[in-house]
Structure 1
Amino acid sequence: MREVRVVSVVDHTWSIGELAEYAGVTVKTVRFYSDRGLLPEAARSAGGHRRYGPEALDRLRLIRSLRALDLPVPDVGRALDQAGALEDILAAQLREVGSRLAALRWREAALQLLRDCAPEERAERLRLLGAVSAPAPPTTAELARFWRRWLPPRLPARLVSTIVEHSVPQPPSDPTPAQVLAFARLHAFTTGPCPGPAYSRPEGRRPDADGRPAVLYDGLLQAHALAAPELRAQRPPRAGEALDCFVAAFADSRDTADTPAFRRQLSAQLATEVRIDRYWQLAAELTDPAQPTPGAAHDWLATALSTQVADEVAA
């Protein structure tokens, strides 16, 4: 138990009532913070009553300011007694407030989506939103699981994480109603029953295919990164470093040379490749237009290859 000094009532201290009056609070408030150790007593009177020094007034005002920010009492105590704790507490509170605001913005956009749609569309939109209603903003866990199922097995964990990071769009913190709908449809696309070949892996990416898929995907990541500036500049698909890197990814994964014959073969294969265009269309609605999706980069490169092959045949 903390020891308190016993003084006479003429000492330069205040009673609990005087401190409450100076601070503009109730005696109950002062007692509450005192009982929780936030407002130490300076002494006790001869009759055992609490006495507070002038410094208690500044401390009480600081406590009230922190509590006005909705800081929990334990956090207030840490902020008062631990050097540097306030910065950490405020950062955590800001993250929590940001999360709450994002949840409210998602809820607002969802309500607007339902309010503004045609009556015949409402039932479907309610079903889509219901599947991702909690939490808000929605989690991308199902989208990540989709990619982990779709990718070939036995890829290095580092590579899988990188592909998932690039392929899964993060829900915007301040979405439009259209983006809420796009995410709900993307969630439905990745969690619904397999419609058939749309969920099959493309030729050359199946676990039973020849070649080295880790080499392929590493190379594709590099090729997509090289193609991204071309897409941002809105240049048409064309030959160049990005296309060479793209073709090399397939050639290296199969331990073969990048020849005109190989490019013709690869172009024909890509033309019949199973695609998930719907995924990338919806993902593009959720991402910054200045950051092309891997799907858009892949399409640009495949088109550049087919254009090059067609030009060579025509020549």
Structure 2
Amino acid sequence: MSYTIGQLAKLSGLTVKTIRFYSDTGVLPERGRTRGGYRLYEDEDRVRLELVRTLREIGVDLATIRSLGERDLRQVLSLHLRAVEAQITSLQRTRAVLRATLERDTPSDDDLRRLNALGRLGAAETAALVNEFVDAVSGGNAAREEWLGGLRAAMVPDLPEEPSVGQLDAWLELTELLADDGFRASLRETATGFWRNAAAIDPTAWHEANALATRKALAAVREGVDPGSAAAAPVVTEILSLLAEAQGRTPEAVARDYAGHDPRASRYWELMATLDDAPWPPEPVVAHEWIGAAAAYHVA
């Protein structure tokens, strides 16, 4: 069925002026004209006009709507759904901050900082920040870039739908870490020897050696072996030798990697665990912290 612009205005509740503007700007292309020169529209235009109005109400700009072109309705509705879900998520996060703020008598600077950050950093901006971080840390090393690429998805911090104040603070700290040039430079310089020779390392042998080293360190932790005790010396010596052989390096070089470990790297994953409401620390972290502490005592 065909409609004139006046009929479409009555059906949609929009003014003729608004519909004419949408048509003139290409947001709602006209289907044709009568012999008298009046614009004609079809039933699908009624649906599209309703969608345009809805997208405009949730803040989607005209350029984006115009770019939809002649995509089918399913594609357009999928875009609409994503926009609505993004808006709901944003509002839920803002609600969590406002609730936490109102529980106190006087709002603090931290409360304002949370609100400001939520307004600046959405999901897309955070993902872009992770991409920049990975590029900066890889430093042109193909092996490290590939390894970081595999972690990229797991590195994107995302708030739960109903975040606690602790999770909000963890998310803010994570975004600050990602943007920290000093942290990026530190990770780029850490274990340079390992990454320089990574292409020559047998991945299977490396993973097996790392798994065995982790088991031996955890056994020492469970037995209550203090990293600085004499009992720790033969254990850490064996562990470093295992790792060194798998990497084609010396035990002393591996020990230097542990000594140069930036604690902010562990903090990053601790904050991710906070966001995921997961226990911390996991066993591999416990193991490698013990190895690093023991190496500092027993390796010259």
CA RMSD of aligned residues (A): 5.7
**Structure with max Cα Rg:** 1
Tell me what 2:150 maps to: 162
Structure 1: gaps (5+ residues): 1-12, 231-235, 240-244, 257-261, 307-315
| Pairing 1:280–2:269 present | yes
Structure 1 CA distance for aligned equivalents of residues 23 and 135 of structure 2: 55
TM-score by length of 1: 0.53
Tell me what 2:247 maps to: 253
Structure 2 CA distance for aligned equivalents of residues 25 and 165 of structure 1: 44
Q: Which amino acid in the other structure matches residue 135 of structure 1?
A: L
Instruction: Find 1:108's aligned residue among 84, 95, 100.
Output: 95
TM-score by length of 2: 0.55
Q: Is the contact between residue 23 and residue 29 of structure 2 (CA under 8 Å) also seen in structure 1?
A: yes
| Pairing 1:38–2:30 present | yes
Instruction: Map Cα deviations across residues 237-260 of structure 1 (whole Å, 9 max, x no partner).
Output: 459xxxxx998655311257xxxx
Matches within 5 A, 1:225-304: 237=218, 250-254=244-248, 274=261, 275-276=263-264, 277-287=266-276, 289=278, 296-302=282-288
Structure 2 CA distance for aligned equivalents of residues 194 and 77 of structure 1: 40
Tell me what 1:92 maps to: 79
Instruction: Map Cα deviations across residues 196-246 of structure 1 (whole Å, 9 max, x no partner).
Output: xxx95699x5325797345679679957x989xx9xxxxx9459xxxxx99
Q: Is the contact between residue 12 and residue 50 of structure 2 (CA under 8 Å) also seen in structure 1?
A: no
Q: Is the contact between residue 152 and residue 206 of structure 1 (CA under 8 Å) also seen in structure 2?
A: no
- Report % sequence identity: 16
SS at match of 2:126: coil
SS at match of 2:55: coil
Tell me what 1:122 maps to: 108
Q: Is the contact between residue 152 and residue 213 of structure 1 (CA under 8 Å) also seen in structure 2?
A: no
CA drift at 1:184: 1.5
**CA separation of 1:74/1:298 partners in 2, compared to 1, >3 Å: closer, same or farther?**
closer
**CA separation of 1:191/1:216 partners in 2, compared to 1, >3 Å: closer, same or farther?**
farther
Structure 2 CA distance for aligned equivalents of residues 22 and 128 of structure 1: 45
Tell me what 1:134 maps to: 120
Q: Which moved more, 1:246-255 or 1:208-217?
A: 208-217
CA drift at 1:106: 2.5
Structure with bigger helix share is: 2
Aligned residues: 258
CA drift at 1:286: 1.4
